[in-house]
Amino acid sequence: MALEQIGKYQIIELIDEGGMASVYKAIDNESKEIVAIKTLKENINTHHETFIRFKKEAEILSGLNHPHILKFIDFIEQEQRVFIVTEFIQGKTLKQIIREGALDLEEMTAVIIQIAETLDYVHSQDIIHRDIKPSNIMITGNLDVRILDFGVANLMNFQKLFSNKSDVAGSFAYMSPEQSGILRRDIDNRSDLYSLGILFYELVTRQLPYQAEEVGELLHQHIAKIPIEPISIQEALSPIINKIILKLMRKDPDDRYQTAFGLSEDLKIFLGLSVQQKKTFYLELGKKDRLKNLNYRTGLIGRKRELGHLLDHLNETVLEKGFVSAIIGKSGCGKSRLISELQKYTAAKNAFFISAVSNEGGQNHPYHPFISAAKKLLNTMQKLPEKKREDMFVRLKAKLGVEGVILSKVIPELSFLVGEYEEGTKFSRKESDVFFEKLKEFFLEMATTAHPLVFSFDDAHYWDQGSIQFFQYLLAGIGSRSIYLVLSFREELLGRVKELHDFIVAKAQQGEIGIVNLTNINGEDVE
């Protein structure tokens, strides 16, 4: 149904339409002011969660006051729909400008400075934009920037977008490794800076650094592929800008600019250089980052030996030498931080990192950590390129056979592959034996040299008896597969799983499991 009147605003025309929202040009019948009105599309508007989050975006906009952010005017609820009214800006999106190739390097740099300064303000309000891309940047005729779409990125249904090829050139092309969910790092302000780096790269080269038809392949490139340097595409590009872009695009957030302020300061220095200096001047990047109070976690301190143990076995895993490491330490000694550090290295091995956390009630839910891991692994497989994914599922279906249907009893997401489990189904052996065998086959078949599997089982001291027994059963099969299990235990709670601890100690003596005991860091451990 066409919109004609929203509150006191008369609709003039539809000016933009995306997958989730529509934007209209309208006039205030009282003040005669021209405004822009954004609303969720009707098929999206019916979802309660997105409805609430759209209202949250209005709250965010109403609390922001910056010259490069659209001025919030009104929020309207009408006929079970919601509308955000903002100032109307006449201009082009940066996406259109990139297509036209109309800007020189100084103009491009001036645009990026405005975006960086705006992000610095936004981040100071404890807000992460999460969807920095050319179509969300509006440029007026005098190169005045407006950043659009605060909060809409949070509405995206990640699973649905994976099946939509038209979205590959959208948000996913600019998404940071940590935002994709594959790299297990907290999402913070530096995620926006990565996206800005991709945007800057595209602005100066007129092409994206990572391109693929499948979302899974595109996300893999963000994590593992080294981009062609922009100066290799545009040979006249200043080496300084080349370095700045590459720093923004670093895979590890710790290696990027830490603040938008640091970025804007470096770009201002660049603009102040002479033509010759822009080619030859050495600029130490990120010096002004130190002027901001940073609260990101520092790099791993004093755990080189322990991390080395984990990395050695990660390298062996790629060579089909599966292994188990058990990390034991008191609460707060750094077990999770050590595992997080290991996870950063898995992307370079094309490995999939799957985390399954147990809790105190876990002993009331048989096999929960492994069922959770299986579901997460299935979800991760959906991110593979379509051909690889189909080949994997064909092999898996053949391996599991007709009795694989037992897995759908606890993992209904597998029913598309093995069929739906029905009570009374007859098996060749005891049902629990079939379940163990098929779950083991599931994990081992999914582990390949092309994509090794690394499983992190946090708080394994909460495992139920069934999980302990399955772990013992699984261990016998991983020695020649590309699979690495990392278990963490709180030392003070090992008594809850004495049988498992005794088993691990015995297997460690046989060289099948490695034990990493974390103690307090002493002065000799810190360089």
464 catalytic residue (yes or no)? no
Distance separating alpha carbons of residues 477 and 50, to the nearest angstrom: 45
Could you tell me the residue ranges of all domains in the chain?
5-87, 92-291, 304-525
Q: Does the pLDDT at position 296 exceed 90?
A: no
Beta carbons within 10 angstroms of residue 141's beta carbon: 8
Question: pLDDT grade, residue 119 (50/70/90)?
Answer: very high
Q: Give the lowest-confidence range in 117-131, 152-166, 456-470.
A: 152-166
Question: pLDDT grade, residue 497 (50/70/90)?
Answer: very high
Question: What integer best gives the mean pLDDT of the chain?
Answer: 85
pLDDT over 90 percentage in the chain: 47
User: Region 369-395: what's the mean pLDDT?
Assistant: 87
User: Region 224-239: what's the mean pLDDT?
Assistant: 94
Q: What is the pLDDT of residues 267-278, one digit of tens each?
A: 999 999 998 888
Nearest by Cα to 5 from 34, 27, 30 = 27
Choices 3.40.190.10, 3.20.20.140, 3.40.30.10, 3.30.200.20: CATH for 5-87: 3.30.200.20
Measured CA distances, 88 to 37, 54, 65, 428 (Å): 9, 19, 16, 70
Which among 28, 104, 131, 464 is annotated as catalytic?
A: 131
Distance separating alpha carbons of residues 484 and 452, to the nearest angstrom: 8
Q: Does the pLDDT at position 184 exceed 60?
A: yes
Distance separating alpha carbons of residues 38 and 389, to the nearest angstrom: 38
Q: Give the lowest-confidence range in 25-39, 85-99, 410-424, 510-524.
A: 510-524
Domains 5-87 and 304-525 share a fold: no
Radius of gyration of the chain (CA): 26
Predicted confidence at residue 160, as pLDDT, reads: 39
The answer to whether residues 440 and 473 touch, using CB atoms and an 8 Å cutoff, is yes
Q: Does the pLDDT at position 469 exceed 80?
A: yes
What are the percentages of helix, strand and coil residues in the chain, rounded to 5? 50, 15, 35
Domain covering 304-525 in this structure, CATH number = 3.40.50.300
Domain covering 92-291 in this structure, CATH number = 1.10.510.10
Question: pLDDT grade, residue 379 (50/70/90)?
Answer: confident
Strand partners, 10: 5, 27
Distance separating alpha carbons of residues 57 and 154, to the nearest angstrom: 9
